[in-house]
């Protein structure tokens, strides 16, 4: 007998070929498969007769098959399956599929079927290419409803997954629910069986949203439990007291080429106070791009190093780590500090104004013996077996859309780092690159200490932003031409073609096509670079390096590529199909320009010109924009993908900040009454799995 814990290997319909793929996706049991959620839905819920009114729309229609055949095009080595159906009004639809000759078996002439897809026309017929289909006698699973689309990355079709889940779903009736019933009742959340039924096969949009809300709440609840657990662990640990040396800091600050903003002053003070305590700091420095987080980090590093301890700074990519290395060498040029850059491709040590390449093992020895005061690297720095002599401060610069899971992981990694000192762990300062809306930050990180840089340095020239409709394109291209003639550089950003979790070959193609078009038709006189996520790390870096060295005038790139690198000479950023992005993300892109002395420009290309974008023209204040975005799209977008297998789509239904507050309050309550989760074995188990997953990422 099958139950939810049965291995997928024992499910009769799942053949070895599929088992391999499912296991690769981390799905081993029936339960795992049932918890594999769609990342979007095709809305085929409208069943309509064939009509000109629906041309261009996604619809479902049904009719009788009157003709069906395979056409083989030998010269093009292609088979086209073509069928004609007639609906009850006598209108005809021609449906075609490419290279799937076996599909023909589904369409005996005279039978009736439903077809879902985008309606077009072909001569006297209506047309659909590659429509989803189903016999009319069957339940609506693939057509005629909100059809779930699963990630097909590993070669399993959504149709196959739907089929499996449909048959296995009844087993979820006995699935224990990890959310305690009291909590479900209190917040009117559906039970797990109803939730899974509606997530995979929604009756309607409303029930789907309710199911997604429950999933979002559950994830948030687990994250909060984890966060509180880590917080408690932190509080039980000791750290080294680092005495605040007023003279040292005052001297450093007065020698800076600028005056600190009040926000920088306040944040630095909060951090220096934390460092004086014998319990580890766990503070988040929340600030916009360009708000001056680096100097705040430098002040805390200066205090730590001067007290005789080591400091580590981590960035998400090698390029950014190297950039930090260069900044810190400059910032501390008048101090007698040894600063090292440690990543897999660089093994540089900076000692008194000269860069010297050293062997990795030599460098590791210097870190272990305490000769190095400040180590800069990627996140791998604390995960690898780097040993320190006395590491007292860890600074993590995120510089990307922060993933809650990564933060939790980095926090617990910090606790297990070999800091070289007995019975202590380092103080931890995390810096975000996206300004997190204040209300959200307080709700989510209520248990964490927060410093906010909500004030920009005064000398900034605000970036001029303009929403550009198709008729104004050429004018903007002319403007760009004049900027490049002044030796300035330009970014062009393309959104993902399909809403999905990662960049696909389609996106690579789209960015190549645009690169080609701009190179040939618009800017034949300039040099254009091309950047996308499918390039190897080394290739990406080479492209960036070339752009930085002005070997390209324009860089065309997909949106997923992290270009955190400083290109002060870039003064223009063009964002194609800008309506496809959230405001926070647009603001983030915009931060790639405006880093130099010259006036910078951001052009939001769009055909639709939604009112939502207007705020981008009005303000450069990241907090204002993210607060606005929070109201428009809810908090889910700020969390990234919380857990592999939990797509953004569920988080999108984390409809308000209140839900997060509730999740935190409930998590706190539960832990207060049952700190070891002894009375909640299901939750304890889920939390353990959750932590394991985080570690695997």
**In this structure, are strands 374-378 and 310-315 parallel, antiparallel, or unpaired?**
parallel
When asked if residue 590 is in the footprint of ligand ADP (CB under 6 A), the reply is no
H, E, C per residue of 61-91: EEEEEEEEEEEEECCCCEEEEEEEEECCCCC
Residue with tokens 């209506």: 126
At its nearest, how many Å lie between ligand ADP and the CB of residue 318? Answer: 17
Give the residue with the Cβ less far from ligand ADP, 120 or 290: 290
Should residue 254 be labelled a site residue for ligand ADP when binding is judged by CB under 6 A?
no
Nearer to ligand ADP, 259 or 695 (CB): 259
Query: Does 319 contact ligand ADP by CB under 6 A?
Result: no
**In whole angstroms, how close is the CB of 587 to ligand ADP at the nearest point?**
12
CA atoms of 187 and 347, how far apart (whole Å): 53
Tokens of 72: 């083989």
Using the rule CB under 6 A, which residue among 260, 358, 415, 468 binds ligand ADP? 260
Q: Which is nearer to ligand ADP, 102 or 258 (CB)?
A: 258
Helix (H, G, I), strand (E, B) or coil at 386: coil
Closest approach, Cβ 255 to ligand ADP, in A, equals: 13
Using CB under 6 A, pick the residue from 200, 293, 347, 628 that binds ligand ADP: 293
Look-up of token digits 């130099």: 596
We find the least distance from the C-beta atom of residue 367 to ligand ADP, in angstroms, to be 25
- Round to whole Å and give the CA distance between 172 and 3: 8
Q: CB–CB of 424/240 below 8 Å?
A: yes
| Comparison of 289 and 441: residue with beta carbon closer to ligand ADP | 289
What is the residue whose two structure tokens read 């400040």?
A: 374
Given the rule CB under 6 A, which of 77-85, 269-277, 285-293, 675-683 is the region that contacts ligand ADP? 285-293
CB atoms within 10 A of CB 466: 14
Taking the least distance from each CB to ligand ADP, the nearer of 110 and 257 is: 257
Contact of 152 with 162, CB cutoff 8 Å = no
Beta bridge partners of 60: 47, 116
Q: What is the 3-state secondary structure (H, E, C) of 475-488?
A: HHHHHHHHHHHCCC
Contact stretch for ligand ADP (CB under 6 A) within 37-45, 65-73, 180-188, 293-301:
293-301
Of 137, 255, 459, 471, which one interacts with ligand ADP (CB under 6 A)?
A: 459
Q: Which of 101, 120, 290, 446 binds ligand ADP (CB under 6 A)?
A: 290
Q: What are phi and psi of 693, to 5 degrees?
A: -60, -45
292 binds ligand ADP (CB under 6 A): yes
Q: Tell me if 51 contacts ligand ADP by CB under 6 A.
A: no
List Cα–Cα distances, 75 to 71, 72, 78, in angstroms.
12, 9, 8
> How near is the Cβ of 301 to ligand ADP at its closest, in Å?
13
Q: Do the beta carbons of residue 490 and residue 482 sit within 8 Å?
A: no
| Shortest reach from residue 415's CB to ligand ADP, in Å | 26
Binding-residue pattern over the window 207 to 246 for ligand ADP, x denoting contact by CB under 6 A: ----------------------------------------
CA 196 to chain centre: 24
Phi, psi of 310 (to 5 degrees): -95, 155
Q: How many CB atoms lie within 10 A of CB 513?
A: 12
Nearest CA to 460 out of 362, 579, 583, 599 is that of 599
Pair 212, 200: CB distance under 8 Å: no
Which of residues 116, 198, 227, 261 is near ligand ADP by CB under 6 A? 261
645 binds ligand ADP (CB under 6 A): no
CB of 328 to ligand ADP, least distance (A): 11
Report in angstroms how near the CB of residue 291 gets to ligand ADP at its nearest: 4
CA distances from 575 to 165, 333, 359 (A): 40, 38, 42
Q: With CB under 6 A as the contact rule, which of the stretches 97-105, 282-290, 486-494, 681-689 interacts with ligand ADP?
A: 282-290
Place of tokens 């093994």: 347
CB nearer to ligand ADP: give 272 or 386.
272
Q: Which stretch binds ligand ADP (CB under 6 A): 101-109, 288-296, 524-532, 660-668?
A: 288-296
CB of 589 to ligand ADP, least distance (A): 14
Shortest Å distance, C-beta 564 to ligand ADP: 9
Taking the C-alpha atoms of residue 212 and residue 198, their distance in angstroms, rounded to an integer, is 9
Q: Judging by DSSP bridges, how do beta strands 132-135 and 347-351 pair with one another?
A: unpaired
Please identify, using beta-carbon distances, which residue of 101 and 457 lies nearer to ligand ADP.
457
Exactly one of 24, 153, 182, 258 binds ligand ADP (CB under 6 A); that residue is 258
Report the residue from 29, 268, 291, 600 that binds ligand ADP according to the rule CB under 6 A.
Answer: 291
Smaller CB separation from ligand ADP, 293 or 628: 293
In this structure, what is the dihedral angle of CA atoms 677, 679, 680, 685, given to the nearest 10 degrees?
60
- 457 touches ligand ADP (CB under 6 A): yes
Residue window 501-530: x/- pattern of binding to ligand ADP, with contact defined by CB under 6 A? ------------------------------
Q: What secondary structure does DSSP assign to 297-320, as a single string?
A: HHHHHHHHHHTT-EEEEEESSHHH
CB 528 within 8 A of CB 551: no
- The answer to whether 42 touches 143, Cβ cutoff 8 Å, is no
Tell whether residue 188 is a contact of ligand ADP (CB under 6 A). Answer: no
Q: How many residues line the site for ligand ADP (CB under 6 A)?
A: 15
564 vs 634, beta carbon nearer ligand ADP: 564
């999933």: which residue's tokens?
Answer: 215
- Under rule CB under 6 A, residue 102 binds ligand ADP: no
**Could you tell me the smallest distance in angstroms from the CB atom of residue 293 to ligand ADP?**
3
Contact residues: ligand ADP, CB under 6 A? 258-261, 264, 287, 289-295, 457, 459
């Amino acid at each position: 007998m099958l139950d939810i814990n049965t291995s997928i290997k024992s499910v009769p319909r799942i053949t070895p070929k599929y088992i391999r793929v499912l296991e690769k996706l981390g799905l081993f049991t029936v339960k795992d498969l049932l918890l594999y959620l769609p990342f979007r839905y095709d809305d085929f819920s409208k069943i309509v007769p064939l009509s000109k009114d629906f041309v261009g729309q996604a619809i479902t229609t049904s009719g009788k098959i009157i003709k069906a055949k395979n056409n083989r095009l030998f010269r093009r080595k292609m088979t086209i399956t073509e069928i004609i159906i007639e609906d009850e009004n006598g209108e005809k639809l021609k449906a075609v599929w490419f290279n799937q000759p076996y599909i023909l078996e589904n369409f005996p002439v005279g039978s009736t079927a439903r077809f879902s897809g985008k309606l077009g026309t072909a001569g006297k017929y209506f047309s659909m290419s590659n429509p989803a289909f189903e016999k009319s006698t069957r339940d609506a699973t693939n057509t005629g409803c909100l059809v779930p689309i699963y990630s097909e990355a590993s070669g399993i079709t959504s149709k196959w997954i739907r089929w499996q889940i449909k048959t296995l779903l009844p087993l979820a009736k006995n699935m224990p629910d990890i959310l305690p019933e009291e909590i479900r009742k209190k917040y009117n959340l559906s039970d797990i069986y109803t939730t899974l039924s509606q997530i995979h096969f929604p009756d309607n949009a409303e029930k789907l949203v309710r199911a997604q809300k429950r999933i979002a709440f559950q994830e948030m609840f687990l994250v909060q439990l984890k966060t509180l657990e880590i917080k408690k662990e932190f509080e039980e640990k000791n750290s080294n007291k680092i005495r605040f040396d007023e003279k040292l800091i005052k001297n450093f600050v007065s020698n800076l080429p600028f005056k600190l903003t009040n926000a920088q002053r306040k944040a630095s003070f909060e951090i220096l106070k934390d460092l004086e305590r014998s319990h580890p700091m766990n503070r988040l420095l929340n600030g916009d791009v360009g708000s001056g987080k680096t100097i705040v980090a430098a002040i805390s590093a200066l205090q730590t190093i001067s007290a005789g301890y080591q400091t580590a700074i981590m960035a998400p990519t090698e390029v950014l780590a190297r950039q930090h290395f260069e900044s810190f060498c400059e910032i501390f040029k008048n101090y007698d500090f040894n600063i090292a850059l440690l990543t897999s491709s660089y093994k540089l040590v900076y000692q008194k104004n000269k860069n010297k390449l050293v062997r990795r093992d030599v460098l590791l020895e210097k870190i272990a013996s305490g000769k190095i005061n400040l180590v800069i690297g990627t996140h791998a720095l604390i995960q690898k077996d780097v040993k320190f002599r006395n590491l007292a401060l860890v600074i993590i610069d995120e510089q990307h859309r922060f993933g809650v899971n990564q933060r939790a992981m980095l926090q617990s990694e910090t606790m297990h780092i070999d800091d070289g000192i007995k019975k202590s762990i380092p103080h931890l300062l995390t810096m975000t690159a996206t300004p997190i809306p204040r209300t959200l930050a307080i709700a989510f990180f209520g248990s964490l200490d927060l410093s906010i840089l909500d004030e920009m340095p005064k000398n900034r020239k605000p970036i001029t932003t303009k929403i550009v409709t198709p008729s104004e394109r050429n004018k903007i291209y002319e403007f760009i031409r004049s900027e490049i003639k002044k030796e300035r550089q330009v970014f062009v950003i393309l959104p993902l073609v399909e809403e999905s979790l990662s960049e696909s070959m389609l996106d690579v193609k789209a960015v190549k096509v645009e690169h080609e078009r701009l190179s040939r038709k618009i800017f034949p006189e300039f040099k254009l670079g091309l950047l996308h996520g499918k390039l190897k790390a080394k290739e990406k870096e080479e492209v960036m390096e070339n752009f930085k060295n002005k070997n390209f005038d324009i860089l065309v790139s997909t949106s997923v590529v992290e270009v955190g690198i400083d290109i002060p000479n870039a003064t223009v950023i063009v964002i194609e199909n800008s309506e496809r992005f959230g405001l926070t993300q647009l603001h983030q892109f915009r931060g790639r320009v405006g880093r130099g002395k010259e006036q910078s420009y951001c052009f939001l290309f769009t055909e639709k010109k939604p009112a939502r974008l207007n705020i981008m023209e009005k303000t450069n204040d990241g907090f204002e924009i993210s607060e606005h975005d929070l109201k428009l799209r809810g908090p889910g977008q700020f969390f990234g993908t919380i857990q592999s297998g939990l797509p953004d789509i569920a988080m999108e239904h984390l409809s308000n900040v209140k839900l997060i507050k509730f999740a935190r309050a409930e998590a706190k309550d539960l832990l207060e009454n049952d700190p070891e989760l002894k009375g909640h074995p299901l939750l304890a188990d889920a939390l353990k799995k959750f932590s394991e997953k985080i570690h695997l990422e």
